[in-house]
Amino acid sequence: MAQTGGEFNPENIDRSKIDPSFLAVIRQREELKSKLSGIKHKIGVYSAKGGVGKTTTAVNLAYALSSMGFKVGILDADIDTPNVTYFVGYKGEPPRDYPLKPIEVGGVKIISTAMFFQDSGKPIIWRGPMLTKMLKEFFADTQWGELDYLIIDLPPGSSDSPLTIMQLIPLDGFVLVTTPQHIAAINTIKSGTMAKKFGLALLGVVENMSSGTPKGASEVAESLGCDVLGMIKADQRIADFSDEGKVAVLEDSRIKEAFIDIVKRLIS
Ligand SMILES: Nc1ncnc2c1ncn2[C@@H]1O[C@H](COP(=O)(O)OP(=O)(O)O)[C@@H](O)[C@H]1O
Ligand SMILES: [Mg+2]
């Protein structure tokens, strides 16, 4: 069962007694809530640890959901090191429309900073305020249309982007990702604890690069009181598919089965 740190309800706040900067956050939250009202479910994929497979999980969960008939979008919240378009093999021209139109790859809508930078070898070197501005625009100004699920691929760390998302976006909750290693579990537990502090639900934890018996995921689930959603085995083909710009669940039936199992647990 999803665990939450307690519901935050802006309606219950006496606005005369609070700091104006906090009020601004509440106002932005309310605006974003109405702008995102065409999206039924918004799910973050997160761990503060880098390289555990957040993007792999986000992309494959999105395409698994899409293969089940849902209308799905992916928001790449890794603003300065965006990888989603690479993982799905997108090489098109930067979109010129404003408000932003997501690209569509294999039936899944995607928005990512990578779409706007033709030279993929060029680093995006932005300070926090610029990152946060771009991220807010992605949420506020993207023309998603009606979606059943928006999957948000978070960057590692617990600062600008994760913090902005937790403060402002009315999420259903987070799918945490860990690997079997203790250090990954420790960092993922911190991520879950942060989400709980914001009153956000933990929808469960995925163990990626698993040997087949849950290790890191059990540690995280036990510590945070959430479910293990499933395991994705360490499999060189998953890495190769990503590097070839192919989505694993669309290429391999065993990998698809593993992600569909996770999706079924997630949406139940
Ligand atoms: N189950 C797996 N087996 C083998 N390689 C994987 C697996 N999951 C992810 N990878 C590879 O590990 C690297 C890091 O994954 P990525 O999804 O980018 O992590 P993160 O988004 O957490 O930084 C990528 O090269 C990816 O293709
Ligand atoms: Mg990533």
Expressed in angstroms and rounded, the spacing between residue 203 Cα and the centre of ligand 1 is: 21
At residue 198, the pLDDT reads 95
The region that residue 88 occupies, defined by phi over 0 for left and psi between -120 and 50 for alpha, beta otherwise, is alpha
What are the tens digits of pLDDT across the range 68-116? 999 999 999 999 999 999 999 998 888 777 779 999 999 999 999 999 8
Residues with CB under 5 A from ligand 2 (ion): 54-55
Neighbours of 1 (CB within 10 A): 10
Q: Is the CB of 66 under 6 A from ligand 1?
A: no
pTM: 0.93
Q: Which two tokens stand for residue 151?
A: 């999957």
Residue type, 109: K
Q: Is the CB of 178 under 6 A from ligand 1?
A: no
Closest ligand 1 atom, residue 87 Cα = 27
At residue 235, the pLDDT reads 97
Residue type, 233: K
At residue 94, the pLDDT reads 81
What are the tens digits of pLDDT across the range 160-173? 999 999 999 999 99
At residue 143, the pLDDT reads 95
Strand partners, 39: 147
Q: Which two tokens stand for residue 155?
A: 């960057």
Measure the CA–CA gap between 159 and 125, rounded to whole angstroms: 16
Closest ligand 1 atom, residue 51 Cα = 23
Element (H, E) at 198: none
Strand partners, 230: 206
Q: Is the pLDDT of residue 151 over 70?
A: yes
Using the CB atoms, write b or e for 183-205: b if 16+ within 10 Å: ebbbbbbebbebbbebebbbbbb
Q: Which two tokens stand for residue 142?
A: 């993207």
Q: Is the pLDDT of residue 2 over 60?
A: no
Domains of the chain: 39-267 (3.40.50.300)
Which residue, by CA, sits nearest to atom 8 of ligand 1? Answer: 53
Measure the CA–CA gap between 207 and 199, rounded to whole angstroms: 23
Q: What is the percentage of the chain residues whose pLDDT exceeds 90?
A: 83
> In whole angstroms, how far apart are CA 16 and each of 8, 12, 13, 20, 49?
18, 12, 9, 9, 39
Question: To test the ligand 1 pocket, which listed residue (55, 56, 257) has its Cβ within 8 A of the most ligand atoms?
Answer: 56
At residue 119, the pLDDT reads 76
At residue 117, the pLDDT reads 83
Q: What is the percentage of the chain residues whose pLDDT exceeds 70?
A: 93
Q: Is the pLDDT of residue 23 over 80?
A: yes
Q: Strands 39-46, 147-153: parallel, antiparallel or unpaired by DSSP?
A: parallel
- Mean predicted lDDT score pLDDT of the chain: 93
Closest ligand 1 atom, residue 59 Cα = 17
User: 84 in helix, strand or coil?
Assistant: helix
At residue 18, the pLDDT reads 64
Which residue, by CA, sits nearest to atom 16 of ligand 1? Answer: 53
